[in-house]
Structures are given as structure tokens and as C-alpha cells.
Amino acid sequence: MARLVMKFGGTSVADIERIRNVARHVKREAEAGHEVAVVVSAMAGKTDELVGWTREASPLHDAREYDTVVAAGEQITAGLLSIVLQNMGVDARSWQGWQIPIRTNNAHGAARIEDIDGTLLRERLAMEQVAVIAGFQGIGPDNRIATLGRGGSDTSAVAIAAALEADRCDIYTDVDGVYTTDPRMEPRARRLDKISFEEMLEMASLGAKILQVRSVELAMVHGVRTFVRSSFEDPDNVQAGHGNQPAGTLICDEEEIVEKPVVTGIAYSKDEAQISLRRVPDKPGISAAIFGPLADNHINVDMIVQSVSEDGSKTDMTFTVAEPDAAKAIKILENNQDAISYQLIQTDSGLTKVSVIGIGMRSHAGVASTAFAALSEKGINIRAITTSEIKFSLLIDADYTELAVRTLHSVYNLNRE
Ligand code: ASP
Ligand code: MG
């Protein structure tokens, strides 16, 4: 007997028919004798609709009331799934964040979970009752509903798995696992049996949209074995995957991964913009003068390249931001022209960051140079490069995204046979 957390996303609970399908998955695990806590998202499109209504009510609105509105989507699904389960003869009860309670900080709209009291849930699980929990929400120190930021029910699920010391957190979604790259970009992408927490964190932060980044961080910190699998499978006829696991991808500690490939996956994120400040004085304090004001305005700066100045007096500083932030970033830099004293500011948009990820890189040399050679052969220009222990990222023109992803996928032998 195991203790499982099962999480179902918006497309998996999009209508009553699909909720019935979800209920059959839950019933299967409960009947196998497992203790089951389920975390649900709002039905597909619901949260967007609720967010839209708050904006329509008033473009500027109180974040606590925003949370009151948008948390409602998950409450509905939790109730509906409980009704369907009860109707199938499975003892089930819905739970909202405040009832557990899931305590968060006060950052309404983007709250972080601070503590989950698992006592009540454990009692119910021990009574063989399925707990159906509304994801995405908790209760703040002000005693009001707080939501965790878009995509937050992944984080709810992992946090509950950690609090309950569950054996596994199953994330049921509309894909059947984590792939070596986006299969829409490269049909020869392969599903991974296992991926380490660290690699998954890079994949998620660098553009793979399977899990909320924060949920992966949390899984890593608490060592929650997280299994990504499809909710659209026939619940009574689950496909066999690797070893004795069903089809899907296990995100786990790297100790559990016997064969560590040098490269595990290729991620990409489009809509990057590059900003260059030409001829800034090359002296202490210049980076702080540029990036301080951007950080103060919550603009996330990514790849930073500073060229060596010829005579030690002037340098060029180039960096990337998400394209929607570019105009704001430029305005801020212009307002700080006195402190930075650049001579020219230039921007390029329509760029893509392609990243190559693998824990095996730690112990192998020359991994990145293979990519440089392969891209140059295809005539793809690299505008900026950043590296870390287990990944490197290349900035290219967005027009070449597909070609670059496919070239790298093939050069690192990731194609399916
Ligand atoms: N329903 C919320 C959203 O769409 C949370 C989630 O689905 O993870 O962002
Ligand atoms: Mg999601």
C-alpha cells in the first residue's frame, strides 16, 4: 500500500465526461488499496475567464478580491469530482485550501506556500476516504484566500505530497510524459523514462511548459518523486512503461538514474529581446547602475554579455529580456542615462533561446563545441552564449528555431530510432 497524490490539470477536467474519466483513475488507485489525495485545477479556460471578469470589473483591482474570484474555479472542480466519485461508490470529500489549512504568505495573486498541516488529511486517508483538494489556493496570514500564480496547482500537488510524505506525486496531464524536446517541433522526440530534478528544473525554466517551475523546485527540495503521465489513457487499461512503472516520466533524484546521458533534452523559449548599451564607461558600479533599476522594476534579465574594452575605458553591455518587457526596460534605461552614460542603445527582438541540458555535462568536455559546429554548418548565427554546470543556452534568430532544435536534437543522438 502506498500513499499517492494524484493531480489533474485543466484539460483533464474540462467537462463532466472527462471528470468521470479522472474519477475512474482515482477509483483504480483507491481500489488497489492506496491512500489517495487528489489535487485538481479549474476546468480548462475557467481561470482565464475569471481573470477576464476581474479586469472587466476594474482594470486596477484589489489583489485579495482577485484571489476571491479566481480561486473559485478549483472549488467547482473539487466538488464535481467528489460528487462523481461518491456516485461511483468511492468515499470522497472535497477540501479547499483554508479547510486543510494550506498556509501561504501575503503575496496575493502570487503567494508562496509556507506550511501545510497534514493532520486532518491523514485522518481522512486513514479512514480510506479520498481527499479531493482544490489546487492553486491557500489561506494568507490575513485570513483570506490567496492564489499561487498561474499554473499553481502543480505546486499545490507537490507541496501536499511533501506534507503527507507521499510515496509519489502523479501529475496527470494532456501529454504522456517529458520528452527530449517539444514533439511539435521535432516528431522524433523521445519520451524520457526518468529525468533528474535538476534537469527538469532547467527544462521547465527554459521553456518546457509541462510543470510550473516552482513545483519542480519544491519537488527537488523535498525529494518528492514526481511522475508525469497522461490522463487520457484508459483508466482500466494503463499502458506499461519502463520497468514496473506505467508509461510516463519519473522526475527523481539523480541517484535513481543509472544511465546518465550527457545530453538529456533541448528546450527553447521564443520571444526574447536583446538590448545593447554601446560604449558605457568600463568602471566599477556600471553593472549595478544598469541592472539595479531593472531589478527594482521586476524585469528579469537573462543572458548578459560584456565585451572587453580595448583600452579599458569603454565597453559594450548586451543582455536579453522577455520581449514583452523590452519597451519598459528601454524606458528605464533611458531614465537612468545620467548614471549609466551609455552612448547608444539598440534593441533586437524576435529572438529565441535554445538550451541544451544534461547532468552528464558536468563530467564531459566539448559538449557545447559540438553544438557550435552543427549550427554553423546550417548557417545559423549565434548571438550570445551562456553556460552553467548542466546546461548551455544559445541566442539565435527566431526564424531558425525549428532548424536549430532539430539539428541539436539529432547531433546529440536524441532522435527516436
Ligand atoms: N487554474 C489555475 C491556472 O490556470 C491553476 C492551474 O491550473 O494550475 O493557472
Ligand atoms: Mg498546468
pLDDT 10s digits, 234-283? 898 888 888 878 999 999 999 999 888 899 999 999 999 999 999 999 99
Give the span between the Cα atoms of 372 and 221, in whole angstroms: 34
174: CA distance to ligand 2 center in Å?
10
Q: What is the pLDDT of residue 407?
A: 98
Q: Which of 175, 180, 227 is nearest to 199 (CA)?
A: 180
Give residue for cell 529580456. Answer: 321
Strand partners, 229: 172
Q: What is the pLDDT of residue 243?
A: 80
Q: What does the pLDDT look like over 281-320, one tens digit per residue?
A: 999 999 999 999 999 999 999 999 998 878 888 999 999 9
Query: Which atom of ligand 1 lies at the shortest distance from residue 41's CA?
Result: 7
Dihedral sign, CA of 195, 200, 206, 208? positive
Nearest residue by C-alpha to atom 6 in ligand 1 = 151
Substitution site in 136, 137, 158, 212 for ligand 1 pocket (most atoms within 8 Å of beta carbon): 136
**Count of C-beta atoms within a 10 Å radius of residue 376:** 11
75: CA distance to ligand 1 center in Å?
12
**Count of C-beta atoms within a 10 Å radius of residue 137:** 27
Res 12 pLDDT > 90: yes
340: CA distance to ligand 2 center in Å?
41
Q: What does the pLDDT look like over 55-97, one tens digit per residue?
A: 999 999 999 999 999 999 999 999 999 999 999 999 999 999 9
Q: Which of 6, 141, 149, 150 is nearest to 81 (CA)?
A: 6
Give the span between the Cα atoms of 125 and 134, in whole angstroms: 16
Q: What does the pLDDT look like over 367-395, one tens digit per residue?
A: 999 999 999 999 999 999 999 999 999 99
Q: What is the pLDDT of residue 260?
A: 83
* CATH tag, 3-255: 3.40.1160.10
Mean per-residue pLDDT, 225-236:
93
Outline which parts of the chain fall under CATH 3.30.2130.10.
265-411
Outline which parts of the chain fall under CATH 3.40.1160.10.
3-255
29: CA distance to ligand 1 center in Å?
24
Which class in CATH covers the domain with range 265-411? alpha beta
404: CA distance to ligand 2 center in Å?
27
SS3 403: helix
Res 349 pLDDT > 80: yes
The number of C-alpha atoms within 13 Å of 413 and in the hemisphere containing its C-beta is 5
User: Which CA distances in Å does 336 have to 168, 241, 325, 329, 403?
Assistant: 50, 56, 17, 11, 39
Res 194 pLDDT > 90: yes
Strand partners, 132: 38, 94
In contact, 357 and 263? CB cutoff 8 Å: yes
Ligand nearest to the CA of 231: 2
Q: Which residues line ligand 1 at a C-beta cut-off of 6 Å?
A: 9-10, 41-42, 47, 73, 135-136, 150-154
Q: Which of 135, 170, 136 is nearest to 150 (CA)?
A: 136
Q: What does the pLDDT look like over 158-181, one tens digit per residue?
A: 999 999 999 999 999 989 999 999
Mean pLDDT over the full length of the chain: 95
Ligand nearest to the CA of 149: 1
Mean per-residue pLDDT, 172-196:
95
Ligand nearest to the CA of 44: 1
Q: What is the pLDDT of residue 374?
A: 98
pTM value? Answer: 0.92
Q: What does the pLDDT look like over 25-59, one tens digit per residue?
A: 999 999 999 999 999 999 999 999 999 999 999 99
Q: At 207, is the pLDDT very low, low, confident or very high (cuts 50, 70, 90)?
A: confident
11: CA distance to ligand 1 center in Å?
10
Q: What is the pLDDT of residue 1?
A: 87
